[in-house]
Protein backbone atom coordinates (compact mmCIF):
# COMPACT_ATOMS: atom_id res chain seq x y z
CA UNK A 1 0.00 0.00 0.00
CA UNK A 2 2.73 2.42 -1.03
CA UNK A 3 0.51 4.63 -3.21
CA UNK A 4 -3.09 5.73 -3.41
CA UNK A 5 -3.58 3.43 -6.43
CA UNK A 6 -2.44 0.37 -4.46
CA UNK A 7 -4.94 1.02 -1.68
CA UNK A 8 -7.83 1.65 -4.06
CA UNK A 9 -7.05 -1.45 -6.17
CA UNK A 10 -6.96 -3.59 -3.03
CA UNK A 11 -10.34 -2.16 -1.99
CA UNK A 12 -11.81 -3.10 -5.41
CA UNK A 13 -10.35 -6.63 -5.41
CA UNK A 14 -11.58 -7.34 -1.87
CA UNK A 15 -14.93 -5.64 -2.54
CA UNK A 16 -14.28 -3.08 0.18
CA UNK A 17 -16.21 0.17 0.72
CA UNK A 18 -14.89 3.68 0.21
CA UNK A 19 -14.99 4.10 3.98
CA UNK A 20 -12.53 1.22 4.40
CA UNK A 21 -10.28 2.78 1.77
CA UNK A 22 -10.37 6.15 3.57
CA UNK A 23 -9.37 4.50 6.86
CA UNK A 24 -6.61 2.51 5.14
CA UNK A 25 -5.19 5.69 3.61
CA UNK A 26 -5.45 7.53 6.94
CA UNK A 27 -3.45 4.71 8.55
CA UNK A 28 -0.47 5.64 6.38
CA UNK A 29 -1.03 9.36 6.91
CA UNK A 30 -2.92 10.17 3.69
CA UNK A 31 -6.02 12.28 4.17
CA UNK A 32 -8.44 12.00 1.22
CA UNK A 33 -12.12 12.94 1.06
CA UNK A 34 -14.61 10.07 0.87
CA UNK A 35 -16.22 11.47 -2.30
CA UNK A 36 -12.82 11.69 -4.00
CA UNK A 37 -12.12 8.06 -3.15
CA UNK A 38 -15.44 6.96 -4.66
CA UNK A 39 -14.66 8.77 -7.95
CA UNK A 40 -11.16 7.25 -8.13
CA UNK A 41 -12.48 3.71 -7.44
CA UNK A 42 -15.13 4.08 -10.15
CA UNK A 43 -12.47 5.15 -12.65
CA UNK A 44 -10.31 2.15 -11.78
CA UNK A 45 -13.23 -0.27 -12.20
CA UNK A 46 -13.78 1.17 -15.70
CA UNK A 47 -10.15 0.51 -16.61
CA UNK A 48 -8.93 4.06 -16.29
CA UNK A 49 -5.95 5.43 -14.44
CA UNK A 50 -5.94 7.23 -11.14
CA UNK A 51 -4.10 10.53 -10.96
CA UNK A 52 -4.15 12.57 -7.79
CA UNK A 53 -4.11 16.20 -8.95
CA UNK A 54 -1.49 18.19 -7.15
CA UNK A 55 0.23 21.42 -8.13
CA UNK A 56 3.88 20.82 -8.76
CA UNK A 57 6.05 22.48 -6.14
CA UNK A 58 8.89 24.69 -7.20
CA UNK A 59 12.44 23.57 -6.64
CA UNK A 60 14.05 20.18 -6.37
CA UNK A 61 11.35 17.53 -5.90
CA UNK A 62 13.89 15.15 -4.46
CA UNK A 63 14.06 17.20 -1.27
CA UNK A 64 12.23 20.52 -1.28
CA UNK A 65 11.65 21.85 2.26
CA UNK A 66 9.46 24.82 3.12
CA UNK A 67 9.94 25.85 6.75
CA UNK A 68 7.83 28.64 8.23
CA UNK A 69 8.12 29.85 11.83
CA UNK A 70 5.12 31.84 13.00
CA UNK A 71 6.24 33.69 16.11
CA UNK A 72 7.97 31.78 18.88
CA UNK A 73 5.12 29.32 19.51
CA UNK A 74 4.14 27.91 16.09
CA UNK A 75 6.08 26.36 13.21
CA UNK A 76 5.08 24.70 9.95
CA UNK A 77 7.21 22.51 7.66
CA UNK A 78 6.19 21.25 4.21
CA UNK A 79 8.31 18.72 2.27
CA UNK A 80 8.14 17.38 -1.31
CA UNK A 81 10.25 14.36 -2.06
CA UNK A 82 10.39 10.89 -3.61
CA UNK A 83 11.86 9.45 -0.44
CA UNK A 84 10.35 11.45 2.45
CA UNK A 85 7.16 9.44 2.95
CA UNK A 86 6.62 9.33 6.74
CA UNK A 87 6.41 11.74 9.65
CA UNK A 88 9.77 10.58 11.04
CA UNK A 89 11.40 11.18 7.64
CA UNK A 90 9.95 14.70 7.54
CA UNK A 91 11.12 15.56 11.06
CA UNK A 92 14.62 14.32 10.24
CA UNK A 93 14.73 16.17 6.91
CA UNK A 94 13.43 19.38 8.54
CA UNK A 95 15.93 19.03 11.41
CA UNK A 96 13.17 19.40 14.01
CA UNK A 97 14.37 19.37 17.62
CA UNK A 98 11.74 17.32 19.47
CA UNK A 99 13.05 18.63 22.77
CA UNK A 100 11.72 22.03 21.75
CA UNK A 101 8.76 21.18 19.48
CA UNK A 102 5.67 18.98 19.75
CA UNK A 103 3.86 17.65 16.67
CA UNK A 104 0.38 19.14 16.71
CA UNK A 105 -0.86 17.39 13.51
CA UNK A 106 0.39 16.24 10.09
CA UNK A 107 -0.80 15.02 6.69
CA UNK A 108 0.81 12.87 4.01
CA UNK A 109 -0.24 13.11 0.35
CA UNK A 110 0.94 11.09 -2.68
CA UNK A 111 0.56 11.51 -6.43
CA UNK A 112 2.21 10.11 -9.57
CA UNK A 113 4.10 11.90 -12.31
CA UNK A 114 4.72 10.30 -15.73
CA UNK A 115 7.76 11.07 -17.90
CA UNK A 116 9.62 9.46 -20.85
CA UNK A 117 12.78 7.68 -19.97
CA UNK A 118 15.92 7.14 -22.10
CA UNK A 119 14.21 4.16 -23.78
CA UNK A 120 11.26 6.38 -24.86
CA UNK A 121 8.93 4.54 -22.52
CA UNK A 122 6.65 6.30 -20.02
CA UNK A 123 7.80 5.84 -16.47
CA UNK A 124 5.58 6.70 -13.52
CA UNK A 125 7.30 8.19 -10.46
CA UNK A 126 5.46 8.44 -7.11
CA UNK A 127 5.96 11.77 -5.31
CA UNK A 128 5.08 12.60 -1.73
CA UNK A 129 4.13 15.67 0.25
CA UNK A 130 4.45 15.64 4.04
CA UNK A 131 3.13 18.67 5.93
CA UNK A 132 3.68 19.01 9.69
CA UNK A 133 2.32 21.58 12.14
CA UNK A 134 4.47 22.07 15.23
CA UNK A 135 3.85 23.69 18.61
CA UNK A 136 6.58 24.90 20.92
CA UNK A 137 6.90 22.84 24.08
CA UNK A 138 5.69 24.71 27.13
CA UNK A 139 7.97 25.15 30.08
CA UNK A 140 6.87 25.69 33.66
CA UNK A 141 3.61 27.49 34.15
CA UNK A 142 3.80 30.69 36.27
CA UNK A 143 2.05 28.93 39.15
CA UNK A 144 4.50 25.99 39.04
CA UNK A 145 7.49 28.32 38.83
CA UNK A 146 6.16 30.40 41.74
CA UNK A 147 5.68 27.30 43.89
CA UNK A 148 9.16 25.95 43.13
CA UNK A 149 10.82 29.34 43.71
CA UNK A 150 8.93 29.81 46.95
CA UNK A 151 9.99 26.43 48.29
CA UNK A 152 13.61 27.10 47.37
CA UNK A 153 13.56 30.47 49.14
CA UNK A 154 11.86 29.02 52.21
CA UNK A 155 14.65 26.49 52.59
CA UNK A 156 17.06 29.43 52.84
CA UNK A 157 14.92 31.50 55.24
CA UNK A 158 16.58 32.22 58.60
CA UNK A 159 15.01 31.36 61.93
CA UNK A 160 13.99 34.40 64.01
CA UNK A 161 14.11 34.42 67.78
CA UNK A 162 11.11 35.86 69.65
CA UNK A 163 11.42 39.56 70.51
CA UNK A 164 10.96 40.57 74.16
CA UNK A 165 8.60 43.52 74.59
CA UNK A 166 7.05 45.17 77.63
CA UNK A 167 3.45 44.19 77.03
CA UNK A 168 2.13 46.55 79.73
CA UNK A 169 3.32 49.51 77.65
CA UNK A 170 1.45 48.48 74.52
CA UNK A 171 -1.65 50.45 73.60
CA UNK A 172 -4.51 49.35 71.32
CA UNK A 173 -3.01 51.31 68.47
CA UNK A 174 -2.10 50.35 64.90
CA UNK A 175 0.79 52.15 63.20
CA UNK A 176 0.53 52.12 59.40
CA UNK A 177 3.91 52.67 57.75
CA UNK A 178 3.22 54.19 54.32
CA UNK A 179 6.29 55.03 52.23
CA UNK A 180 4.57 55.26 48.87
CA UNK A 181 5.90 55.55 45.31
CA UNK A 182 9.59 55.02 46.06
CA UNK A 183 10.33 54.04 42.43
CA UNK A 184 13.46 51.98 43.05
CA UNK A 185 15.50 52.23 39.84
CA UNK A 186 14.29 55.65 38.68
CA UNK A 187 16.88 58.03 37.21
CA UNK A 188 16.68 61.83 37.29
CA UNK A 189 19.42 64.37 36.46
CA UNK A 190 19.27 67.68 38.30
CA UNK A 191 20.31 69.94 35.35
CA UNK A 192 17.32 68.52 33.46
CA UNK A 193 14.79 68.00 36.25
CA UNK A 194 16.01 70.20 39.11
CA UNK A 195 16.55 67.09 41.30
CA UNK A 196 18.90 64.13 41.27
CA UNK A 197 17.55 60.63 41.83
CA UNK A 198 19.09 57.21 41.42
CA UNK A 199 19.17 53.85 43.18
CA UNK A 200 21.54 54.99 45.96
CA UNK A 201 19.49 58.12 46.69
CA UNK A 202 16.29 56.08 46.70
CA UNK A 203 17.72 53.52 49.13
CA UNK A 204 19.03 56.24 51.44
CA UNK A 205 15.74 58.17 51.47
CA UNK A 206 13.65 55.08 51.99
CA UNK A 207 15.65 53.79 54.92
CA UNK A 208 15.89 57.24 56.54
CA UNK A 209 12.11 57.71 56.27
CA UNK A 210 11.39 54.25 57.67
CA UNK A 211 13.81 54.53 60.59
CA UNK A 212 12.69 58.01 61.68
CA UNK A 213 8.99 57.20 61.39
CA UNK A 214 9.41 53.99 63.38
CA UNK A 215 11.31 55.84 66.15
CA UNK A 216 8.44 58.33 66.45
CA UNK A 217 5.77 55.61 66.17
CA UNK A 218 7.44 53.64 69.00
CA UNK A 219 6.62 56.51 71.36
CA UNK A 220 2.92 55.67 70.85
CA UNK A 221 3.57 52.05 71.96
CA UNK A 222 1.53 50.44 69.17
CA UNK A 223 0.40 46.84 69.58
CA UNK A 224 0.70 46.16 65.84
CA UNK A 225 2.43 47.65 62.78
CA UNK A 226 1.03 47.60 59.25
CA UNK A 227 3.89 47.98 56.79
CA UNK A 228 2.51 48.86 53.34
CA UNK A 229 4.87 47.85 50.51
CA UNK A 230 4.20 48.66 46.87
CA UNK A 231 2.44 51.52 45.08
CA UNK A 232 5.18 51.74 42.44
CA UNK A 233 7.84 50.45 44.78
CA UNK A 234 9.85 49.65 41.63
CA UNK A 235 10.14 52.05 38.70
CA UNK A 236 9.86 49.45 35.92
CA UNK A 237 8.51 45.94 35.53
CA UNK A 238 10.87 44.61 32.83
CA UNK A 239 13.38 45.80 30.24
CA UNK A 240 13.12 49.48 31.22
CA UNK A 241 9.33 49.47 30.72
CA UNK A 242 6.35 49.81 33.04
CA UNK A 243 3.75 47.07 33.20
CA UNK A 244 1.87 48.73 30.33
CA UNK A 245 5.07 49.04 28.25
CA UNK A 246 5.89 52.74 28.77
CA UNK A 247 9.67 53.44 28.50
CA UNK A 248 11.30 54.99 31.59
CA UNK A 249 14.63 56.55 32.55
CA UNK A 250 16.28 53.87 34.70
CA UNK A 251 19.40 53.61 36.78
CA UNK A 252 21.20 50.42 35.84
CA UNK A 253 19.81 46.91 35.55
CA UNK A 254 16.40 45.98 36.94
CA UNK A 255 17.94 42.99 38.74
CA UNK A 256 20.09 45.37 40.78
CA UNK A 257 17.07 47.50 41.71
CA UNK A 258 15.08 44.39 42.68
CA UNK A 259 17.82 43.16 45.02
CA UNK A 260 18.14 46.60 46.57
CA UNK A 261 14.37 46.79 47.12
CA UNK A 262 14.25 43.35 48.73
CA UNK A 263 17.10 44.32 51.05
CA UNK A 264 15.36 47.52 52.15
CA UNK A 265 12.02 45.81 52.80
CA UNK A 266 13.75 43.09 54.78
CA UNK A 267 15.59 45.64 56.95
CA UNK A 268 12.46 47.71 57.60
CA UNK A 269 10.44 44.60 58.53
CA UNK A 270 13.14 43.36 60.91
CA UNK A 271 13.36 46.81 62.51
CA UNK A 272 9.58 47.12 62.83
CA UNK A 273 9.19 43.74 64.54
CA UNK A 274 11.40 44.96 67.41
CA UNK A 275 8.56 47.37 68.23
CA UNK A 276 5.48 45.23 67.56
CA UNK A 277 4.25 42.32 65.43
CA UNK A 278 4.20 43.29 61.75
CA UNK A 279 1.74 42.73 58.92
CA UNK A 280 3.37 43.39 55.53
CA UNK A 281 0.72 44.37 52.97
CA UNK A 282 1.76 44.39 49.28
CA UNK A 283 -0.07 46.81 46.97
CA UNK A 284 0.71 46.63 43.26
CA UNK A 285 1.31 49.76 41.17
CA UNK A 286 0.97 50.61 37.50
CA UNK A 287 4.77 50.67 37.10
CA UNK A 288 5.52 47.33 38.78
CA UNK A 289 2.39 45.16 38.76
CA UNK A 290 4.24 41.86 38.24
CA UNK A 291 7.44 42.69 40.10
CA UNK A 292 5.57 43.88 43.20
CA UNK A 293 3.84 40.49 43.42
CA UNK A 294 7.23 38.75 43.11
CA UNK A 295 8.55 40.98 45.91
CA UNK A 296 5.65 39.86 48.10
CA UNK A 297 6.44 36.20 47.43
CA UNK A 298 10.11 36.72 48.32
CA UNK A 299 9.20 38.48 51.59
CA UNK A 300 6.67 35.76 52.44
CA UNK A 301 9.34 33.12 51.94
CA UNK A 302 11.90 35.12 53.91
CA UNK A 303 9.70 35.54 57.00
CA UNK A 304 7.65 32.34 56.96
CA UNK A 305 9.51 31.09 60.05
CA UNK A 306 9.02 34.38 61.89
CA UNK A 307 5.92 34.15 64.11
CA UNK A 308 5.42 37.91 64.48
CA UNK A 309 5.63 38.77 60.75
CA UNK A 310 2.72 38.08 58.42
CA UNK A 311 2.94 38.88 54.68
CA UNK A 312 -0.32 39.66 52.85
CA UNK A 313 0.27 39.32 49.10
CA UNK A 314 -2.68 39.20 46.71
CA UNK A 315 -2.96 39.70 42.91
CA UNK A 316 -6.12 41.76 43.47
CA UNK A 317 -5.74 45.50 42.77
CA UNK A 318 -7.81 46.23 45.89
CA UNK A 319 -6.41 45.27 49.31
CA UNK A 320 -8.11 45.60 52.71
CA UNK A 321 -7.00 45.51 56.33
CA UNK A 322 -9.24 45.26 59.42
CA UNK A 323 -8.16 46.50 62.84
CA UNK A 324 -10.93 46.58 65.46
CA UNK A 325 -13.46 49.19 64.35
CA UNK A 326 -11.11 50.39 61.59
CA UNK A 327 -11.33 49.21 57.97
CA UNK A 328 -8.57 50.34 55.62
CA UNK A 329 -8.62 49.93 51.82
CA UNK A 330 -5.67 50.26 49.47
CA UNK A 331 -5.47 50.73 45.69
CA UNK A 332 -2.71 52.42 43.72
CA UNK A 333 -5.07 54.93 42.13
CA UNK A 334 -4.05 55.30 38.47
CA UNK A 335 -7.70 54.70 37.55
CA UNK A 336 -9.08 57.01 40.23
CA UNK A 337 -7.86 60.42 39.12
CA UNK A 338 -11.24 62.14 39.03
CA UNK A 339 -13.54 62.98 41.92
CA UNK A 340 -16.25 60.83 40.34
CA UNK A 341 -13.97 57.79 40.31
CA UNK A 342 -12.90 58.30 43.91
CA UNK A 343 -16.53 58.66 44.95
CA UNK A 344 -17.02 55.05 43.85
CA UNK A 345 -14.46 53.72 46.33
CA UNK A 346 -16.82 53.64 49.36
CA UNK A 347 -19.27 51.53 47.34
CA UNK A 348 -16.42 49.24 46.27
CA UNK A 349 -15.36 48.78 49.88
CA UNK A 350 -18.89 48.03 51.06
CA UNK A 351 -19.35 45.52 48.22
CA UNK A 352 -16.00 43.77 48.69
CA UNK A 353 -16.13 43.61 52.51
CA UNK A 354 -19.81 43.70 53.56
CA UNK A 355 -19.27 42.10 57.01
CA UNK A 356 -16.26 44.27 57.89
CA UNK A 357 -18.18 47.30 56.60
CA UNK A 358 -21.10 46.61 58.93
CA UNK A 359 -18.87 46.08 61.95
CA UNK A 360 -16.60 49.15 61.59
CA UNK A 361 -17.06 52.87 62.13
CA UNK A 362 -13.75 54.24 60.79
CA UNK A 363 -13.22 53.55 57.09
CA UNK A 364 -10.49 54.91 54.82
CA UNK A 365 -9.00 54.31 51.38
CA UNK A 366 -5.32 55.11 50.83
CA UNK A 367 -4.04 55.80 47.31
CA UNK A 368 -0.63 56.51 45.79
CA UNK A 369 0.31 57.29 42.18
CA UNK A 370 -0.20 61.08 42.23
CA UNK A 371 2.85 61.89 44.42
CA UNK A 372 0.79 64.50 46.31
CA UNK A 373 -1.13 64.62 49.57
CA UNK A 374 -4.89 65.12 49.39
CA UNK A 375 -7.89 64.09 51.45
CA UNK A 376 -11.50 63.67 50.32
CA UNK A 377 -14.21 62.86 52.84
CA UNK A 378 -17.34 61.29 51.36
CA UNK A 379 -20.38 61.65 53.62
CA UNK A 380 -23.56 59.63 53.26
CA UNK A 381 -26.67 58.97 55.34
CA UNK A 382 -27.47 55.51 56.67
CA UNK A 383 -30.74 55.36 58.66
CA UNK A 384 -30.46 58.18 61.22
CA UNK A 385 -26.67 58.52 61.21
CA UNK A 386 -24.38 60.43 58.89
CA UNK A 387 -21.29 58.35 58.13
CA UNK A 388 -18.16 59.11 56.19
CA UNK A 389 -15.32 57.45 54.28
CA UNK A 390 -12.00 59.23 53.91
CA UNK A 391 -10.09 58.79 50.65
CA UNK A 392 -6.49 59.86 51.11
CA UNK A 393 -3.78 60.25 48.49
CA UNK A 394 -0.38 59.83 50.12
CA UNK A 395 2.83 61.58 49.05
CA UNK A 396 5.97 60.12 47.45
CA UNK A 397 9.63 60.23 48.47
CA UNK A 398 10.94 60.11 44.87
CA UNK A 399 12.25 63.04 42.85
CA UNK A 400 10.66 64.32 39.66
CA UNK A 401 11.89 62.66 36.47
CA UNK A 402 12.24 64.27 33.03
CA UNK A 403 8.73 63.46 31.77
CA UNK A 404 6.96 64.77 34.88
CA UNK A 405 9.17 67.87 34.78
CA UNK A 406 8.10 68.54 31.19
CA UNK A 407 4.47 68.15 32.20
CA UNK A 408 4.93 70.67 35.01
CA UNK A 409 4.25 68.25 37.88
CA UNK A 410 5.80 69.05 41.26
CA UNK A 411 5.09 67.84 44.78
CA UNK A 412 6.44 67.76 48.30
CA UNK A 413 8.54 64.66 48.93
CA UNK A 414 7.41 62.94 52.10
CA UNK A 415 6.41 59.68 53.82
CA UNK A 416 3.75 59.14 56.47
CA UNK A 417 2.81 56.90 59.38
CA UNK A 418 -0.92 56.81 60.20
CA UNK A 419 -2.15 55.84 63.66
CA UNK A 420 -5.49 54.18 64.50
CA UNK A 421 -7.09 53.26 67.83
CA UNK A 422 -8.78 49.87 67.97
CA UNK A 423 -12.07 51.31 69.31
CA UNK A 424 -11.87 55.04 68.66
CA UNK A 425 -10.68 55.03 65.06
CA UNK A 426 -8.26 57.57 63.65
CA UNK A 427 -5.64 58.56 66.23
CA UNK A 428 -3.37 60.85 64.19
CA UNK A 429 -0.46 60.65 61.79
CA UNK A 430 3.26 61.35 61.55
CA UNK A 431 5.04 62.95 58.60
CA UNK A 432 8.65 62.64 57.48
CA UNK A 433 9.62 65.27 54.92
CA UNK A 434 12.58 64.60 52.62
What's the pLDDT score for residue 261? 93
Whole-number percent of the chain with pLDDT over 90: 34
pTM above 0.75, yes or no: no
Q: How far apart (Å, rounded) are the C-alpha atoms in residues 244 and 130?
A: 42
What is the distance, to the nearest Å, from the Cα of residue 187 to the centroid of all Cα atoms in its chain?
Answer: 25
* 321 touches 281 (CB < 8 A): yes
Number of residues written out for the chain: 434
Q: What is the largest CA-CA distance in the chain?
A: 113
| Least confident span in 113-122, 211-220, 264-273, 409-418 | 113-122
Phi and psi (nearest 5°) for 334? -65, -20
Is the predicted pLDDT of residue 123 greater than 70, yes or no?
no
Q: Which is more confidently placed, 120 or 257?
A: 257
Show Cβ contacts of residue 387 under 8 Å, excluding neighbours closer than 6 positions.
Answer: 361, 379, 380, 381
CATH T-level fold of 142-433: Purple Acid Phosphatase; chain A, domain 2 (3.60.21)
In terms of DSSP H, where are the helices of 157-198? 190-193
What's the pLDDT score for residue 342? 84
In terms of DSSP H, where are the helices of 95-198? 142-156, 190-193
What's the pLDDT score for residue 115? 58
Q: Determine the average pLDDT of the residues in 302-323.
A: 93
> Which helix (H) or strand (E) covers residue 93, if one does?
helix 87-93
Structure confidence by residue, pLDDT tens digits, 156-170:
678 888 887 765 567
Domain ranges of the chain: 4-136, 142-433
Structure confidence by residue, pLDDT tens digits, 392-420:
889 999 888 776 677 666 678 899 999 99
Amino acid sequence: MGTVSDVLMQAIKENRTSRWAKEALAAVGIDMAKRTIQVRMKRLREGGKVEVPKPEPKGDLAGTVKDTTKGSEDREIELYSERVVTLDDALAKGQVDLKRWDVERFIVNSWEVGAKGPDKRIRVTPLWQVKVWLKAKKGWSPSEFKAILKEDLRDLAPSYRPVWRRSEREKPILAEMSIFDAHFGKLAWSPETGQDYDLKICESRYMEAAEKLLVRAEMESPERILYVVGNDFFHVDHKGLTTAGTPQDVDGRWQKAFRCGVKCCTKVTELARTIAPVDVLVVQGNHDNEKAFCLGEVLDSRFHQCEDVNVLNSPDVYSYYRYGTVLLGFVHGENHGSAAKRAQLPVTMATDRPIDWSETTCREFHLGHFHTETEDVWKYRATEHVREVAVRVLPSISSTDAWHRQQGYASVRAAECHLYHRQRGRWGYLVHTV
